[in-house]
Amino acid sequence: MLNKTKNISSQIKGNNPWTPVAITGSIPHGDMPGDKVNIEENHIDKANIIFPVLLKEMDHLVKETGSEKVVITVCGGSGVGKSETASLITYYLNQMGIGAYTLSGDNYPHRIPKYNDAERLRIFRESAIKGMVMRGGFSKERFDIIHELQMKGQDSNPETINKYPWYETYINEGRKGLKQYLGSSEEIGFEEIDSIIKAFKNGEKEIWLRRMGREDTELWYDAVDFFGINVLVIEWTHGNSKNYNGVDIPVLLNSTPQETLEHRRARNRDGATDSPFTMMVLELEQRLLIRDAHKAKIILSKQGTILTHEQFQKLMGN
């Protein structure tokens, strides 16, 4: 690796045109404890499409702002290779002599995964029952049916509406409550990400970063050396969220809930990955990605094509 430099534009100019470098051995990835990142050829192909465009965006940004500190996010459903792409971007930047670090946003929910999954389900069920009561659709007989479905983990299955038309109120009211929670400040510590970005852009040489495992005994902080680090790459589903500030170049990787589900299986995510509730969560998260897509500087389709926001909207509309 070349010596790290504070002059990003000169390094970009010196590597123009950029030539893809060989991937030798394992490369550093995001800092989520226990996360599995398996870089395959398709991830490298996509990163090689994104990276030259990203360099142009970085060069323009540095010249416009005069700042040598750049924050990039790689967002999207995990099934599209978000973690792998972020790792490759960081690797390429470091190989160019531009110091970069990959931060995983999955370290910053208020609750560890199993507790957060439980909170999501609690909010869905409570919102669903309250909504039925408020709309005059609740009865003891109906609750007995709902309770049986809850015990089987099937109460969020929309197919139940075919048998019980009144069940649509339960599903819709539960979705409303869940939608308000997902990707919100109630679920995620956006203020902590804000403070990290501010410290990074202020040139702090050492920043304490959160580490979250799968158990409540696996929550700690590491003091990370940021000397010579000029680019912070945040890999995170909510990387393009409106709930925090300081991101310079959001990169959106397009995906579908089904692709994300398959990737969760491969990465051994918590919970029943095939459940109707999981699919509901993934669908609602997809809607958040679509909502914030207009802010993305780079959008890459599943097929590896750079999209404008208008093209993205048309694709998702279809």
Strands (E), the chain: 70-75, 100-104, 206-212, 219-225, 231-235, 249-253, 298-300, 306-307
Residue-level pLDDT at 225: 97
User: Which of 76, 87, 26 minimizes the C-alpha distance to 263?
Assistant: 76
Q: Where are the alpha helices (DSSP H) in 158-275?
A: 167-181, 190-201, 257-266
Length of the chain: 318
Give the number of other Cβ atoms within 10 Å of residue 201's Cβ. 16
Query: Which CATH superfamily hosts domain 8-106+191-317?
Result: P-loop containing nucleotide triphosphate hydrolases (3.40.50.300)
Q: Burial, 13: exposed, middle or buried (Cβ in 10 Å; 0-12, 13-18, 19+)?
A: exposed
**Chain Cα centroid distance, residue 139:** 40
Take residue 303 and report the two structure tokens written for it: 């097929």
Contact 27, 87 (CB under 8 A): yes
Inter-residue contact 95 to 22 (CB < 8 Å): no
Strand 219-225 and strand 206-212: pairing? antiparallel
Helix axes 82-96, 41-65, angle to 10 degrees: 60
Which among 309, 314, 200, 256 has a CA at the least distance from the CA of 77? 256
What pLDDT score was predicted for residue 214? 92
Please name which of 140, 160, 188 lies closest in space to residue 277, comparing C-alpha atoms: 160
Whole-angstrom distance, CA of residue 180 vs CA of residue 191 = 18
Looking at residue 30, its pLDDT comes to 83
Compute the Cα dihedral for 65, 68, 69, 73 and give only its sign: positive
**Per-residue model confidence as pLDDT tens for the chain (318 residues):** 444 555 899 999 999 999 998 887 778 888 888 777 888 999 999 999 999 999 999 999 999 999 999 999 999 986 778 999 999 999 999 999 999 999 999 999 999 999 999 999 999 999 999 999 999 999 999 999 999 999 999 999 999 999 999 999 999 999 999 999 999 999 999 999 999 999 999 999 999 999 999 999 999 999 999 999 999 999 999 999 999 999 999 999 997 666 666 666 665 555 556 689 998 999 999 999 999 999 999 999 988 999 999 999 998 876
Question: Which residue ranges make up each domain of the chain?
Answer: 8-106+191-317, 113-181
Determine the pLDDT at residue 2: 45
For residue 169 the two structure tokens come to 């109120």
